[in-house]
Amino acid sequence: MPIPCASCKKECFAELLGTYVLVTVGPGSVIVASLFPNLGSLDSLLFIASAFGTTVGLMVLLLGKHSGAVINPAITFGATVAKILNSKYFVPYLFFQAVGGLLAGLTLKELFSSTNTATFLGSTRLANGITPLLGIVLEAVGTFVLALSALIASTRLKKPIYQGAMVGSTLFILILLVGPLTGAGLNPARSLGPSLASGYYTNLGIYIVGPILGAILAGLLFRAMKSNVKKSKNLVCLC
């Protein structure tokens, strides 16, 4: 049986690796923060947001030249709709991003299997008072901003360091704003890996539907506004 996208093995491996690192470090920071009960809620949030933002920025610098460092299934949808990402990468990227997230979930389970934690390996969860519908809206809006920022960075910023800074800063701010409400998934792979590894499936669909919907809307808007923009080879990720 032929390997899907046999000509883009480098790109697929980069997406798997980048997603794996993000979903290991990001949710891992949630677990670590929970181990310090004396750490204030704001300090914990800043620590987690910094971990995610810094990791994404580094992945852009290290892997952007190989695959664009999309490392987010939702952004894959949005970038394809916007015609920034070649459609031949759509299915392979989704597959390897999902695999990367699942492997990261298993890694977290191994690393923290003996740790008494109520975070379910850093799974995304709704705060008290947040309904599933509101959760979808918040995740969609957050990912919309994230995806639009990624598309702008990929076509307007030429230096990887600037791309990484924009991506990381955007994610950092969104986690500060949305994190206390939904956990700021904004990335199906980020939510899927820890949830499946920990067995926590409550509201998992919110973190798949919301981000994909938001990214698609961002892609449509970007495509309408920049219909004459050529495909960029430097697509960066927002995860």
Say which CATH number the domain at 144 has. Answer: 1.20.1080.10
Dmax (CA) for the chain in angstroms is 54
Q: What total number of domains does the chain contain?
A: 1
pLDDT digits (tens, 9 = 90+) for 3-52: 556 678 899 999 999 999 999 999 999 999 999 988 899 999 999 999 99
**Assigned domain for 190 exists:** yes
Q: Which of 132, 105, 138 is nearest to 211 (CA)?
A: 138
**Assigned domain for 133 exists:** yes
The per-residue pLDDT of the chain, averaged, comes to: 91
**Assigned domain for 36 exists:** yes
Above 60 in pLDDT, residue 233?
A: no
**Assigned domain for 159 exists:** yes
**Assigned domain for 3 exists:** no
Predicted confidence at residue 235, as pLDDT, reads: 58
User: Do residues 48 and 126 touch, judged by C-beta distance below 8 A?
Assistant: no
pLDDT digits (tens, 9 = 90+) for 156-179: 888 989 999 999 999 999 999 999
Find the helix packing angle between 41-67 and 9-34, rounded to 10°. Answer: 170
The share of the chain scoring above pLDDT 70, in percent, equals 92
Above 60 in pLDDT, residue 191?
A: yes
Tell me the residue range of the domain where 193 lies. Answer: 9-113+121-225
Residue 33 main-chain phi, psi, to 5 deg: -60, -35
User: Do residues 76 and 93 touch, judged by C-beta distance below 8 A?
Assistant: yes
Residue 179 main-chain phi, psi, to 5 deg: -50, -45
Give residue 129's identity as a one-letter amino acid code: G
**Assigned domain for 97 exists:** yes
**Assigned domain for 233 exists:** no
Predicted confidence at residue 143, as pLDDT, reads: 98
